Amino acid sequence: MQGEPDETQVLCLLTYDSPFHREYVFKNCNNLYDLDHIKVLLDIFRAYTSTRSYHEVLNNCDFIEDSQLKVLPSEEIISCVDGVWNLNYVERPLGTFMLTNIRAVWFAYENETNNLSVPFLCVEKVNCVPTEYGEAFVVEVLEDNKPYEWRFMAETEDKQEFLFESLVDLLYHFKEHPFVGFKKKAICVQTLPPGTSELLQRVSKGKEANMYPAALRTFALTKFLQ
């Protein structure tokens, strides 16, 4: 955010879309609701970047210490199963598979930095497939908007069945009540023009959203994120 006292502040966004770099400049021209859209956007961006573990697949990171998971805020460990192979590696390392209310985690016995964290928010589907080593359960995720499969196989059929059924059940509940690492507070507005309540109801339902000012669309977005 740039600007000097008594000057209009603008928001500069620098983006990279290979092979191009682009710069976008915005300023807040709507003072009707005393709502600083630039500050709201910066707050949302900070919240997003500080909660990567809730919405990004992490590989070979430091979320395991002494074979213990570094639990995230609002995260609860549901189950922990030893003796699970990661079939995505040629060596097929053996390790521990953990399920929480937010993600699935695997790490190798011999090297805990060889690990994987898959937030349920990234999971497209799970299923069982035959492999040359036996039946494995597959977790299909989106990484950089591209589908990718992680394959796992437990030492015993009982463990395999337990992990697969537990994962399916946790995914179902998460999709019903997703959590992205933060709770959005409602925006308070002191004075609204006549008819605003009716407009907000229309916008929040996705009708004619582009016909209304940015402030109204902000209300709809806030309601959606809650």
Closest Cα partner for 148 from 172, 123, 119, 174? 123
φ/ψ of 129, rounded to 5, equals -135, 150
- pLDDT value for 167: 95
Alpha-carbon distance values, 184 to 46, 187, 206, 213 (Å): 12, 9, 19, 21
- pLDDT value for 224: 39
Spatial separation of the C-alpha atoms in residues 125 and 121, rounded to whole Å: 11
Residue 48 has pLDDT above 60, yes or no: yes
Q: Residue 20 region, left (φ>0) first, then alpha (ψ -120 to 50), else beta?
A: beta
Give the domains, in start order, of the chain with CATH numbers. 10-50+182-225 (no CATH), 55-176 (2.30.29.30)
Q: At what angle do helices 37-49 and 214-225 cross, to 10 degrees?
A: 30
Alpha-carbon distance values, 90 to 86, 93, 109 (Å): 9, 8, 16
Helix-strand-coil split of the chain, %, nearest 5: 30, 35, 35
Residue 201 has pLDDT above 70, yes or no: no
Which whole number is the average pLDDT over 52-61? 90
Spatial separation of the C-alpha atoms in residues 146 and 148, rounded to whole Å: 6
- pLDDT value for 11: 77
Q: What is the mean pLDDT of the chain?
A: 79
Alpha-carbon distance values, 169 to 10, 86, 159, 166, 203 (Å): 46, 21, 15, 5, 33
- pLDDT value for 21: 84
- pLDDT value for 45: 80
- pLDDT value for 183: 64
CB distance 124 to 140 below 8 Å: yes
User: For the range 160-164, what are the long-range contacts, defined as Cβ-Cβ under 8 Å and sequence gap of 24 or more?
Assistant: 160/135, 162/79, 162/81, 163/79, 163/81, 163/84, 163/97, 163/99, 163/137, 164/126, 164/128, 164/137
Spatial separation of the C-alpha atoms in residues 7 and 30, rounded to whole Å: 15
Residue 61 has pLDDT above 80, yes or no: yes
Residue 95 has pLDDT above 50, yes or no: yes
For residue 21, count other CB atoms closer than 10 A to its CB: 9
Residue 3 has pLDDT above 60, yes or no: no
| Token duo for residue 218 | 């902000």
pLDDT in tens, 103-162: 999 999 999 999 999 999 999 999 999 999 999 999 999 877 788 999 999 999 999 999
CB distance 97 to 116 below 8 Å: no
- pLDDT value for 46: 82
